[in-house]
Amino acid sequence: MYREILSPEGLRLDGRRPNELRKIRCRMGLFARADGSAYFEQGNTKVLAAVYGPREVSVKSAMKHDRAIVNCEYFMATFSTGERKKKTKGDRRSQEISLVIKQTFESAIMTHLLPRTEINIYLQVLQADGGTRCASINAATLALIDAGIPMKDFVVACAAGCVDSTPIVDLNYLEDSSGTADVPVAILPKSNKVLMLQMDSKLPVQTFERVLDAAMTGCHKIYDILVEACRERTRDLVGSRGAFSAH
Amino acid sequence: FWAYFQVTVKLVKMQALVDEAVLPGDVVGNIVGSSEAIRLGPGLTQNGEAIVATKAGILRHRAPDKFWIENSQKRYMPATDDVVIGVVTEKLGEGFKVDIGTHQPATLSIYQFEGGNKRNRPNLPIGSLVYARMIVANKDMEPEISCVNSASGKAEGFGPLEGGYMFKCSTGLARQCMAPECPVLNELGAAIPFEIAVGINGRIWVNSGSVDHSILLSNAIVNSEYMTENQVKVMVGELLERIKSR
């Protein structure tokens, strides 16, 4: 039986409107060992991010004398998808996503402040329901902030698609695999600079512009949520010391 | 720490965000063109006409012209004149390699000890703790530390730390313990006699009469990180009770 991605009343399969995001939950500072860590949930997609760095470069030949190198490893847990995944690391999709996220953060982290070091970002998807690369980028942003690594701005990512020439934001797995275009985009919210933009499938140019706008609006909504979470945590961490100043 | 403040910019308006939580990307000030110069510390950078925060933390101001972001992180960023605790990892020809938690180990030369020279080598076995001061700390060079006050040539508290117990903490908690009035240290000091050395690199060393007391000290300090003064009093009281009842 064919289920419509977008019903005639304008509701999607899970009851959302075309421009509504899934429910987002996030937490920072989970791991004692990692320099920074975060947990990010977007609907049923759950991602853990851990950041180690800046630390000594493990492969000396890769060391850069004037900036830090950023390494990223993205992998999905075997239990994250509907059917058990046999090969979680090193398969093409994970490698591609690792590379894309690494390049995204190389532009956002102020690498010239930390020469001859490396920053390692480890992303693990615990449950995948569409939008894993966007959720991973959001989780990695929180983990980097938790680690105190200097960044130009937050990096927020959101994906959008298009059904019957209506852009829909934040695709879940069913919508993603139904054949609509999938346009994940990552931006620096304050300046609206695009750090990552990908697209599956084809779209006419005018439709693409509307889908991109919808994705960027979704990014800004996610940014508001991340900012609130970060500000609360910063206030707890540093502000609870009251009238304290060691200097 | 003050050696961080290398960047100076001319600016007029610093928005009223001092002592507020700021996040990366937040614009905290604008260059409007005037003769007043301010100095930017860790966590702040200049982006065209705006001063932008690059770390999440509280914006602090010290009159007349220093602004910086105060945050707490696990990793220590070295700065000259910081006091740190290190672990000796290697013996070199003219000194030691000491791990201070930065991405590269620091060097400690034998001449950086009171009365240290080739004939009077300081005896530091591998694995021993040292309390030292950063003398070279910038992003381009290997860090260097010293166990002597350069002005007077005397040790003045620096040098190897004998006995005791060292534990790691965040940089924020270390700064808290170095403040003139630290609630948890005052509470503990009223109850047990102990010695403490705080390294701003997130390491704290405590030494007291018995193992029980050392464990209690380290637990109390680590617990007190996010507590208010009253909560600290209650927590320390509970820990002391537990010791007495053993």
Residue pLDDT, tens place only, B142-151: 899 999 887 7
- Residues of chain B contacting A239 with CB distance shorter than 8 Å: 21, 58
CB atoms within 10 A of CB B246: 5
Q: Is B52 on the interface with A (CB under 8 A)?
A: yes
Rounded to a whole number of angstroms, the distance from the CA of A136 to the nearest CA of chain B is: 19
Residue type, B233: K
Which of B180, B187, B228 minimizes the C-alpha distance to A239? B228
Q: Is B30 on the interface with A (CB under 8 A)?
A: no
DSSP letter at A116? T
More confident residue, A89 or B226: B226
Which of A20, A22, A68, A65 minimizes the C-alpha distance to A46? A22
pLDDT band at B8 (very low <50, low <70, confident <90, very high): low
Residue type, B123: N
Are B71 and A113 an interchain contact pair (Cβ–Cβ within 8 Å)? no
- Residues of chain B contacting A117 with CB distance shorter than 8 Å: 103
Cβ-contact A217, A210 below 8 angstroms: no
- What pLDDT does residue B35 have? 52
Which of A125, A133, A151 minimizes the C-alpha distance to A53? A151
Tell me what the mean pLDDT of segment A39-51 comes to: 95
pLDDT band at B246 (very low <50, low <70, confident <90, very high): low
- Residues of chain B contacting A230 with CB distance shorter than 8 Å: 23, 56
DSSP letter at B54? -
Query: What's the mean per-residue pLDDT of chain B?
Result: 85
Cβ-contact B11, B51 below 8 angstroms: yes
For residue A101, what are its two tokens?
């996220």
DSSP letter at A67? S
Round to whole Å and give the CA distance between A119 and B127. 27
Residue with tokens 């020279």: B117
- Segment among A46-50, B11-15, B150-154 with least mean pLDDT: B11-15
For residue B45, what are its two tokens?
């950078």
Which of B232, B45, B218, B58 minimizes the C-alpha distance to A244? B58
> Residue A149 pLDDT more than 70?
yes
How many A/B residue pairs have CB atoms within 8 Å?
Answer: 110
Please report the sign of the dihedral spanned by the C-alpha atoms of residue B181, residue B184, residue B186, residue B189: negative
Are B74 and A147 an interchain contact pair (Cβ–Cβ within 8 Å)? yes
Cβ-contact A212, A185 below 8 angstroms: yes
Cβ-contact B157, B117 below 8 angstroms: no
Q: Is B229 on the interface with A (CB under 8 A)?
A: yes
b/e per residue B225-243 (b: at least 16 CB within 10 A): bebeeeebeebbeebbeee
Cβ-contact A141, A107 below 8 angstroms: no
Mutate to test the interface with B, among A37, A111, A120, A234 (most CBs of B within 10 A): A234
DSSP letter at B225? G
